[in-house]
Amino acid sequence: MFRVLFLLQAFVLLVNPKLLLHLDSNLGNVLQKLLIILAGAALVATRPAQRGVLVLIAAIVVLTLFCAMGTEFPQFEWRLYVGGLVSIVAPFVMLTAMPRESDRVLGLVVFAALPVLMTVGGGLYQLAGIAPLFSADTALGGTRLSGTQGIPAYLSAAAFTGTYAALVLADRRHLGYAFLFIADTIILLLAGGRMALGAAILVCGVAYLRGFKRIPLLKFFAPIWVIVVGGILLVAFAGDNLRHLQSTSLSNRDLIWAPIIRQLHAHPWFGVGLGNQQLLVHVVGVITTFASHNEYLRLAVELGYPGALVFFALTLGILLSVWNSTWVGRDPMFLVCAVAFFIYGITDNTFSVPQAYFILTVGSFAGRPRTAGSTDTEPLLVDGTAPTPRGVKIGGKGVMT
């Protein structure tokens, strides 16, 4: 059941019902988050649960409810609170139980393939007259690749997650996945997400240095080839994207943050209520948005200063609990993914965009726990058990590995 629901939510993320069906409502986003939560529920119901994560998620729910009950914001709406609660829980539901090895492989393949499928699907949408493959960059001019996502930032986030998933598969499953990594990287560049690109360089750079020990010469020359060829292609065919990546502009984010900061000063203790930040921002300059583009500022204005501090403490507890779990086994790469996720949230909506917060799921599925008798981290076997330690007897015979 978990795999069915996981694939279903991935399909909804791929086709983007809001763009495909030209929906004016938020129905597509609600459906996506609902399927993610159902997939997480199926995971925890059918796999060994991580009780600490479940307790901390419940604590987040209680915290946000307490802040909502204490708010003095006159326009507070419980409807928006419920939607905000769904969005704030969804990033962690895939971290609540130990995935099987087949779950890990399926998840990594899906996340690695999604950016390419989104781009191909975007081309089909353009041919069918549904939506353009490229979207205009209203802040800096030019166009950026958006695929089926409609918004280049969402495709950038998906490509960020996809690059790491593809790199893990290339290292541990088959080197052929390196072509998928290259495709995801090109999509990331064409989508023009600056923070997504920086986060991808951090995560994939560390992962590359730690992996591919079987092919030392290729490991040395491959980055040089990718940088040279990628740079030539970017300069020759993607001038708009290069200009966007080089820009230091906040893309009108400072105008978005101004009214939020004013409300934060007005409601410092309990905030305006989870999910109600969208009432503070409407049309700003040349862009139309309800999003804060800064998760720290958003959660501060929604929960107040004390509530935001407690929330991030609980979030850190969830991630440390997963890092210490049997399936991640204190793999440093999970912490690298978590750090990249938190950095990403400085300028983007990482807690409410699945394409971005799925990096935590990929980091969890890609965990390489240490096993007894091993000198390095090793992947689990297909049946979900650890490799046989050195010198263990099986069937009365000594087996040396």
Higher pLDDT, 28 or 161: 161
What would the pLDDT profile of 80-102 be if each residue is shown by its tens digit? 999 999 999 999 999 999 999 99
The angle that helices 177-191 and 239-246 make with each other, rounded to 10 degrees, is 80
User: Which pLDDT band, with edges at 50, 70 and 90, does 391 fall under?
Assistant: very low
Reported as a single tens digit per residue, the pLDDT across 193-248 is 889 999 999 999 999 988 887 777 666 666 766 677 666 666 665 655 555 555 55
pLDDT value for 336? 97
pLDDT at site 221: 65
Q: What is the pLDDT of residues 350-379, one digit of tens each?
A: 999 999 999 999 999 999 765 444 434 444
Cα–Cα separations (whole angstroms), residue 252 to 153, 249, 293? 15, 8, 10
The 10s digit of each residue's pLDDT in 109-131 is 999 999 999 999 999 999 999 99
Give the pLDDT confidence score for residue 40 in this predicted structure: 95
What are 143's strand-pairing partners? 136
pLDDT recorded at residue 271? 96
Does the structure show a pLDDT above 70 at 386?
A: no
Gap between the Cα atoms of 128 and 356, Å rounded: 28
Pick from 202, 118, 110: which is nearest to 155 by CA?
A: 118
pTM: 0.86
For the chain, domain boundaries: 2-369
Q: Looking at residue 135, what is its pLDDT? A: 87
Q: Of 266, 268, 273, whose CA–CA distance to 77 is shortest? A: 273
Residue 389 has pLDDT above 50, yes or no: no
**What pLDDT score was predicted for residue 109?**
97
Cα 314 from Cα 62, distance rounded (Å): 11
d(C-alpha 72, C-alpha 291), whole Å = 21
Grade residue 183 by pLDDT with cuts at 50, 70 and 90. very high
Phi, psi of 232 (to 5 degrees): -65, -45
